[in-house]
């Protein structure tokens, strides 16, 4: 299987796992569900191709995975925080975004490592 097809399979799996998790976290803040799903998909589009096609790989593999997942957690978490209006302010919105990102990315990463 080509690298591009491997990426597409991984991307689809990531979307299937992470979008529902983000939706559970972010829909509580007054956005329509469709908008929340589009934000969640946008987060994947913003980070997943960069991980596969731009980020330099290094050894050991576990260190690369840990480093990349930490970066993705922060980027997606901060972007998710920008996408919601928390009633108690922007700081709380970022905290919710980071928690959503941690939950979504930890789940998809663990699943990916298990099936690979």
Q: Does a cis peptide bond (omega within 30 degrees of 0) precede residue 11? A: no
pLDDT in tens, the chain (116 residues): 999 999 999 999 999 999 999 999 999 888 899 999 999 999 999 999 999 999 999 999 999 999 999 999 999 999 999 998 888 888 999 999 999 999 999 999 999 999 98
pTM of the predicted model over 0.75 = yes
Q: Does a cis peptide bond (omega within 30 degrees of 0) precede residue 36? A: no
Long-range contacts for 66-69 (Cβ within 8 Å, ≥24 apart)? 69/105, 69/109
Tokens of 34: 């469709």
CA 79, CA 83: separation in Å to the nearest integer?
6
């Amino acid at each position: 299987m080509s690298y591009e097809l491997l990426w597409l399979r991984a991307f689809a799996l990531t979307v299937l796992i992470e979008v529902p998790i983000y939706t559970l976290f972010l829909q509580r803040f007054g956005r329509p569900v469709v908008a929340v799903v589009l934000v969640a998909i946008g987060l994947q589009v913003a980070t997943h191709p960069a991980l596969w096609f731009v980020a330099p790989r290094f050894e050991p593999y576990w260190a690369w995975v840990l480093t990349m997942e930490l970066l993705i957690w922060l980027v997606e978490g901060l972007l998710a925080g920008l996408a919601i209006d928390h009633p108690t302010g922007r700081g709380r919105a970022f905290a919710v975004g980071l928690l959503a990102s941690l939950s979504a990315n930890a789940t998809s990463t663990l699943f990916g490592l298990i099936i690979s």
